[in-house]
Structure 1
Amino acid sequence: MLKILIPAVALAAALPLVGGAGHAKAVAIPAPARDVPAAPALQTAVLAGGCFWGMEAVFEGVKGVRDVISGYAGGTRDTATYAQVSTERTRHAEAIRITYDPRVVSYGTLLRIYFSVAHDPTQVNGQHPDSGPSYRSAIFPQTPQQQLVAERYVVQLGRTRAFGKPIATRIERGAFYPAEAYHQDFARRNPTHGYIVTWDKPKIAAFRAAYPALAK
């Protein structure tokens, strides 16, 4: 994102789940064998997978998703600011909080999108072009049912060997704190920003191509 935009554009490296910057393609993976049952009330999911700009942009386009907030998870409230998280010493991960209607889209379906197209779950403490533990792949379950589904899905996907490498995604605990206002809806408000064009628009296109029935 902003703090490393220049070297990222100059030294753009291909993501394992894409053919190269600007040519994203979703990884074909099965749906979770177990899912959280549908409920009448809105639910929340908290996912971390690199820069929250792109994660937010992908999930904002999913049917059944009512709201997506960018923020920080896994650390404390007093250090949940971009300036402090960027030092890579606060234990936060850049994350998104998704509010969704489980009668329209399930938690398992959100995880399938998360693993297959929203980020590369095999990268440790980073997502090209960003590096550091704040860009780690992590799931923060909001209920015991979510935790069980997430844990079992990681095992299930590991057995498929669909990614060619071990899955690095961690199942963690921790509160979520919204990020600064200028980070919210960043991709939608800045569609020509260099980072968005290079790294995030391809993921959005890949989601729509792989999951047309789920796209708004």
Structure 2
Amino acid sequence: MSTASGVEPEIATFAAGCFWGVEHIFLKHYPPAEEKGVLKTSVGYTGGKESSTNPDYRNVCSGSTGHAEALRIEFDPSIVSYGELVEFFYRTHDPTTANRQGPDTGTQYRSAIFTHTPDQVQIAKKITAKVQEKHFTPKGQKIVTDIVEAGPWWDAEEYHQLYLFKNPSGYQCPTHRLHW
């Protein structure tokens, strides 16, 4: 399937705490209807034990699967670059805390970039170094975001998809905002 511009869509996968807030902030700033490059999103689970297939929310929250709550973005690279999405990812959470975002703690809330191509690995590392130097080194903080190859993906249960759009007063982690 190609995009309206005729380019093959690409996939970006990010984990930055509770996936409701990650999806919500990306879609607020890159709404598909405004043709800013994000074509569609889904929240789900990835990055855990190979033996943990088809996980559900309860299992992931128990910490036993090793999976992260993550956001999968299908995007048009002729409109928005992968690098721009990586930088936006860093703007919208605290990448200096291991296995936590705000009050949410556990490995499922880790900061991670799950890469899909060798180019994505290089871009993620380059943007991470740039963001570290500009925004965190001056504050004496260090980015702890994992940059790892994407593995199997499982969509979260339907009630999690677009959760904060369906439930505007639902829980949102306080770190999910623009930090610069």
What corresponds to 2:79 in structure 1?
104
Which residue, out of 9, 25, 29, partners 1:58? 25
Secondary structure of the 1:124 match is coil
Q: CA deviation at 1:186?
A: 0.1
Are the equivalent residues in 2 in contact too, given 1:79–1:85 (CA < 8 A)? Answer: no
1:135 and 2:109 correspond: yes
The answer as to whether partners of 1:45 and 1:107 remain within 8 angstroms in 2 is yes
The 8 Å contact of residues 79 and 90 in structure 1, kept in 2 or not, is answered as no
Match of 1:89 among 51, 64, 87: 64
Cα deviation per residue 1:121-162 (whole Å; 9 max; x = unaligned)? 111101012001110000000111001111122222223353
**Corresponding position of 1:181:** 158
Q: Contact (CA 8 Å) 1:71, 1:177: kept in 2 or not? A: yes
CA deviation digits over 1:90-125, x for unaligned, max 9? 1101101001111111101101110012x1111110
TM-score (norm 2): 0.83
1:17 counterpart residue number: none
Give distance in 1, aligned partners of 2:26 and 2:133: 26
For residues 60 and 98 of structure 2, the distance between their equivalents in structure 1, rounded to whole angstroms, comes to: 17
Listed one character per residue, the Cα deviations across residues 11-55 of structure 1 (whole Å, up to 9, x for unaligned) are xxxxxxxxxxxxxxxxxxxxxxxxxxxx82111100000000000
Could you tell me whether the CA contact under 8 Å between 2:47 and 2:152 is conserved in 1? yes
CA gap 1:157/1:199 in 2 versus in 1, 3 angstroms: closer
For 1:162 and 1:92, locate their aligned partners in 2 and report how far apart those are by CA, in whole Å.
Answer: 27
Aligned residue in 2 for 1:43: 10
Residue 147 of structure 1 corresponds to 121
CA contact (8 A) 1:65 1:99 kept: yes
Larger % of helix: which?
1
How much does 1:78 deviate?
Answer: 2.2
Counterpart AA for 2:85: L
2:33 equivalent in structure 1: none
- Distance in 2, matches of 1:159 and 1:112, equals 13
Q: Which of these residues, 146, 149, 153, is aligned with residue 170 of structure 1? A: 146
What is the alpha-carbon distance in structure 2 between the residues aligned to residue 56 and residue 136 of structure 1? 15
Q: Give unmatched runs, 5+ long, in structure 2.
A: 1-5, 31-35
> Could you tell me which residue of structure 2 aligns to residue 160 of structure 1?
134
Identity %: 38
Root mean square deviation, CA, Å: 2.2
TM-score, normalised on structure 1? 0.70
